[in-house]
Amino acid sequence: MSDPSTIPPPGELQKPQPPKDPKATEGFHWWRRTFQYRTGIGLTPEEKQTYENDYHFVLQKKQCQQCYDYRDWMLKYSPTVRFMVQQISKLNGNSSGQVLPFDESKIICDACPEWRSGGFHPELGILLCQNHIRDKWHLEDTLAHEMVHYFDNLKWQVDWLNLKHHACSEIRASSLSGECRFSAEFRRRGFGFTVAKGHQDCVRRRATLSVMGNPNCKDEKEAGKIVNEVWDSCFNDTRPYDEIYR
């Protein structure tokens, strides 16, 4: 398949349509179309547009399947994810005190126009952005992050439009998920990562960026101020873990 960097992405909110002819994305037909697209030989504007649509459709289909495969693997084998499933299930009991099983359908994969790799909605659940997930371990960090939000929402009925509530959950999610551990941060920032307070700096940075996306936040300065105000209590609150271990 062609290098994705050579093919323009679809519109920000536009999803590619299924190919008119499914066989056109298989075997020799797909190889021929790819060669024609890469060389431009005999390629009409309509064929070019059709190929780009079909390419992104095939790519998103593969990304989606891989995302769900990763998700299912983590739900079965990841100690972090399995622990969070147990803790969320305990909070998700009914009025008689019965613990309800975790609803895996609340974790969905889809393509996202934004730069983020995941998101949480208190009513809909967790979204994993299949087109921004680099690998299985990136998905584990992302899923663990969103599951902390899930836990917080059930335990404390978070008001997500309240900047202090939002900032507190973002601090906890970035700190407890493993996305700010040394290896992950070094992979993102290389030698710009400082060992002494690297974990805390990463958590502050990522929490501030997330709060900036809140519709009630004016700018980066306000986001940073809110994060600082709630930092001590929220960073030191490692529930449901005994400590930060990732």
Q: What is the 3-state secondary structure (H, E, C) of 139-187?
A: HHHHHHHHHHHHHHHHHHCCCCCCHHHHHHHHHHHHHHCCCCCHHHHHH
Could you give the 3-state DSSP secondary structure of residue 215? coil
User: Could you give the percent of the chain with pLDDT greater than 90?
Assistant: 65
Q: Which of 47, 104, 146, 222 is catalytic?
A: 146
Q: Considering only 175-179, 190-194, 218-222, 236-240, which range has the smallest mean pLDDT?
A: 190-194
Active site residue 146: yes
pLDDT bracket for residue 94 (50, 70, 90):
low
Q: Are strands 125-129 and 118-121 parallel, antiparallel or unpaired?
A: antiparallel
Q: Considering only 33-42, 73-82, 178-187, which range has the smallest mean pLDDT?
A: 178-187
Q: Give me the mean pLDDT over the 163-175 stretch.
A: 98
Name the residue ranges covered by the structural domains of the chain: 67-157, 159-245
Chain position carrying tokens 């009630």: 216
Residue that wins the pLDDT comparison between 116 and 245: 116
Judge whether residue 4 has pLDDT over 50. Answer: no
Q: Considering only 7-16, 62-71, 145-154, which range has the smallest mean pLDDT?
A: 7-16
Q: Give me the mean pLDDT over the 180-198 stretch.
A: 62
Judge whether residue 172 has pLDDT over 90. Answer: yes
Tens of pLDDT, residues 198-245: 899 999 999 999 999 999 999 999 999 999 999 999 999 999 999 987
